[in-house]
A and B are shown apart, each in its own frame.
With several copies, the nearest count.
Chain A
Amino acid sequence: MAFSAQIDKTLEMDTSESYQVKLEAFQGPLDLLLFLIRKKKIDIHDIPISSITKDYLKYLDQKEKINLEHEAEFLLIAALLIYIKSQMLLPRETVPEDDMEDPRKVLIDRLLDFQKIKAAGSLLREKENKELKKWQRTFLPPSDKEKEEELELTEISLFDLAEAFFTLMKKKERDSMRTIKGKEVTHEEKMKEMLDYLDKHSFLDFIEYFNRQETFAEAFLSFFCLLELIKARIVVAIQESLFNTIKVWLRKESPS
């Protein structure tokens, strides 16, 4: 049959792709089924199940050599076809026509849905082609006199939220890895960091500052530096009551 030969050629194309079927023509079993139907020039509502099934099972036969694990849908369609075929082959009992649901209907419905999605996709593609040629500004015009705001998002979804979190977590993991590996904060650096902070902010909440340190060593170092700064009378530390935070202030009269 000339038709089979043509199919086989297509199959070879597919197998060479180790059936990930990311070809233009085929994306999966429903695509293949549609292809088979179209090549036979038949109406989707009038599928000659037995011959289509034969072609399809032949296709599956070849496919089995390759990779079946990922495509559970393949089995589903195959099972559906086999079921339909068996229904068609079995001698009909004398049941009134309309009581029997045509087993082909399930398949036809799925194929129609599938076709619709493909057709809608092609209509969306036309729109996409047009829209991609339009350009919008992605920045606020420079005439804006307001001070620049941080980048803002309009529509946040759960995905954005979760992504933000896990990205932060990864970054933190990476950072702490780096600290452990070698980046040692020196005594001078830490002292300077604390003084810079005090310069910018009016005071330093030491408990918070202490907690923010990435490693225990760094936290310990910051505590040591605080003691030294107090001793040198550069800062004054005040704890208003027991268990309250320690507030650190720069001494106004501190030697410069």
Chain B
Amino acid sequence: MTIDLKNIIETLIFISLEPLPKEKIRTLLTDFPKEEILAALDELVQDYAHKNRGIQIVQVAGGYMFSTKIEYDPWIRLLLRVDRKNRLSISAMETLSAVAYHQPVTLAEISAFRGVDSSHSLKTLLQKRLVKIIGRKKSPGKPLIYRTSNRFLSYFGLESLKDLPSQEEISKILEENQEVE
């Protein structure tokens, strides 16, 4: 059997428990030219995407990782004997969206955006590691500053913060809401 660049990359992504960044793959494979690596990577992702397969390679949080496809969720839960994974509460989701769109942000700012005290939701998000403390604001009281984490990105299947729903998508939702009422 031959040593194949595509196979090496497949193995690396398979073995990595975190999304494996493109740059890291390149630094690990210094013997191969950059173009070849990128081409093999693309080909690999396409292989999994196009063929009728149960598992796939997804691009999240700035890296590549293996994941199952959504349609097989019922069988996985059967195997692992678990219920549907818990969703975030409404207030946690809103708090998270306030952090995502206004980061870096303080608790007071989040509460102002949402119009309610958000300390409880923020705690939940910290515990779930979807949000992290990155330091303190240089203002009176030196409040802690929060940002979304890498786990946030993979939780929502986002490659980077640029992939957050855009202003256009949000405006569309707002218009739809108005039409409904």
Binding site for B on A (CB under 8 A): 21-22, 24, 27-31, 38, 41, 43, 70-73, 77, 110, 113-125, 127-146, 149-169, 171-172, 175, 205, 207-208, 211-214, 243-245
B67 to chain A, nearest CB (A): 4
A138 to B18, CA, bound (A): 9
A134 to B126, CA, bound (A): 22
A154 to B153, CA, bound (A): 14
Binding site for A on B (CB under 8 A): 14-15, 17-19, 58, 60, 65-71, 73, 76-77, 80, 83-85, 87-91, 93-94, 96-98, 100-101, 107-109, 111-117, 126, 129, 132-135, 140-144, 149-151, 155-158, 164-165, 167, 169-171, 173-174, 177-178, 181
A39 to B60, CA, bound (A): 40
Contact B15 A168 (CB under 8 A): no
Known contacts A127-B157, A140-B15, A165 near B114 by CB under 8 Å: no
Contact A161 B157 (CB under 8 A): no
Apart from A31-B116, A119-B173, A155-B132, 20 more pairs, CB < 8 Å: A123-B169, A128-B155, A130-B70, A133-B73, A134-B68, A137-B17, A141-B67, A143-B66, A143-B68, A145-B73, A151-B89, A153-B90, A158-B132, A158-B133, A158-B135, A159-B126, A162-B169, A165-B94, A172-B115, A212-B112
Contact A164 B115 (CB under 8 A): no
The 5 closest A-B CB pairs, nearest first, are A30-B115, A28-B116, A157-B132, A165-B97, A245-B141
Q: List the A residue with the shortest CB-CB distance to B90.
A: A151
Chain A residues positioned under 8 Å from B113 (CB to CB): 113-114, 117, 168, 172
Chain A residues positioned under 8 Å from B93 (CB to CB): 121, 124-125, 128, 153, 156, 160-161, 164
Contact A27 B109 (CB under 8 A): no
Q: Which of B100, B108, B115, B141 contacts A28 (CB 8 A)?
A: B115
Known contacts A158-B134, A158-B165, A134 near B157 by CB under 8 Å: yes
Known contacts A116-B174, A136-B65, A211 near B109 by CB under 8 Å: yes
